[in-house]
Chains A and B, each alone.
Chain A
Amino acid sequence: MLTTYTNEVTVMSTTYALQDSERGYIEYTDKKRHLWMSSLALPLFPVLGIALYFAFDSQWMLVIPLLFNYLVIPFLDYALGADENNPPEEIVPQLEQDTYYRVLTWLTVPMHFIVLIAIAWFVGTQDLTLWSVIVLALTAGSYSGLGINTAHELGHKKPELERFLAKIVLAVPAYGHFCIEHNRGHHRDVATPEDPASSRMGESIYKFVLREIPGAARRGWEVEKERLARLGKSEWSVHNDILQSYAISAVLQGGLIIAFGWIMIPFLAIHNFFAWFQLTSANYIEHYGLLRQKEANGRYERCQPHHSWNANYIFSNILLFHLERHSDHHANPTRRYQSLRNFDDIPQLPNGYYGMYILAYIPWLWYRVMDKRVLALPHINGDLSKVNVDPDKRDEIFARFGEGKQAALV
């Protein structure tokens, strides 16, 4: 039995300790504790371009936040490297109970509303070129994509308040079905051919997005419809959690159209799509080619750590609430971000998520980097029957890598 817990809070870190009956005294200092506060500074990035536009009177300044996303973040992942912090399993319950971490996720929720409204105001009131409007819509969409990430963190938690906040923040990118579809659909079906949110080897992100976005919407709606049917309620009622979130979206985005005119229609369309596409990008890289095996009873084996790709880079993990420690997330979906752990010998991506997104957007380069990594995983070891292969590319991939044989891993 555990005997003592201690919890020493200092200025820069908190040390958690306990006396374990088997392993003795265990101590862990969370050196990232205060780095997580960066989530509160992130709204500055989407509006940074606007501030620089006023300072230098040049529309070129508006592109800086996107350059930061796709050039600076991948470089910092490369330069700052792996995250050495890894809490021992025994310490996880103490980290989970520390309310500091969860308050940070709550505080990001209103910021997503403020940033969208601020950028919409700018687009609606300034004389801008078409290109500037597109860049601003993409920038706003990118930050609202982080809103889906916040909803992901909150929506997995058990307290009602956090599930409620998830529904609220999903209204910003108009993606209210996400938490239901993700928690009850993706986590059940992950790394199987049935999952529209798990990508297949040989499937480009441009093909994947056409399967993922509609497939997720359909699955989310089906799951909610079944729940409401058990309750004897219609899916077209105020009890529908998806419709509640969509209703907030309608008020928010309808209000922006009324306030700032017709320019909001293309602006919001691009914003919404690009926010969804952030999720598509994450889904694309998180389970590419990975496949759970079917057991004798017809069920798929339980999701194992080798069914997710991970990226243990400190910089982008701080931006994404540890989303990149993805194997532990699928093993323990209700576990809070601060407690997610890295493991040796799990599938690892060669850069953080933002760097991998760029590769994904250039399919031939993605295949070149990733296909050999899929086949080199110890549980696959060149055996294509253990890979989730795009049926349309099956002949081509089997011809290239050899059926059931050890592939030439060059």
Chain B
Amino acid sequence: MSALFLQQVLNGLLDGVYYLLIALGLSLIFSLGGIVNLAHGAFYAIGAYLTVVLARFIDFGGALVVAPVGVALIGIVIERFLFRRFYREDPILSLLLTFGLALVAEQTLRIIFGAPPLSFAIPQALRGQVFIGDFIYSFYRTILLAIAVGCIVGLWFLLHRTAFGRVVRAGVQNPDMVGALGISLEPYMAAVAGLGIGLAGLAGVLLAPIYSIHPAMGQEIITPAFVVVVIGGLGSFWGVVVAALLVGLAKGLMVAAGYAQFSTAAIYGLMLLVLLFRPRGLFGERIQRFE
């Protein structure tokens, strides 16, 4: 295996981690509330725009903390006043709602900031490259990766090692039973929406220095993230993780092999394959209400 190929494999896997930040929230909100949040990409875009605005006052480091929290708060408000009305409705209604939200958010960004991309660069202190032998990687991306992995591990602990997580996971499996036990899922749902949407906001902050910041940037990331959720399977944390890495890898390897033009198509091919053999996704659990 050549060094370049190995680099491409690693780079593809790391690429998948960005999708993961978006896909985990998407999956959580879908699993618990049955809402396919088509506006998830919009929150990613809002995170990036907030970063550009905030960085003028509190630097990138400050924006890294404040922007995701701001986006999470927007998420909680939207859950409280919009999502909550649709948990019991036909899913087509919540699809329409979140689709509309995505359009409104994108157009709002366009009205406020204009359609041309906003100028933003990696802070001076985080520039440079890391060399390990012949392997090269951007220093900024190592920081990005560390933060993203930290968040993902934190989320896992929250979901699998705390009382909060137990209720959320029970809610995914059987919300009626949770209700019968006298636990109201409403505050949990708000927290999950805040968490999931906050993670999308965080992805926006982290990618703002290296991606073009434009109103439709959310659309670029929502489709692969959606594919990740489908491949990973509902209700499975690790399913989403593995799927995100696979999607990153599939894209990266297509480029590495010289078939860059098929790199986007490759992830749909992967989805097709997985659904053919495992209709619930790689590690999807059997969830009564989704069957």
User: A and B: real partners?
Assistant: no
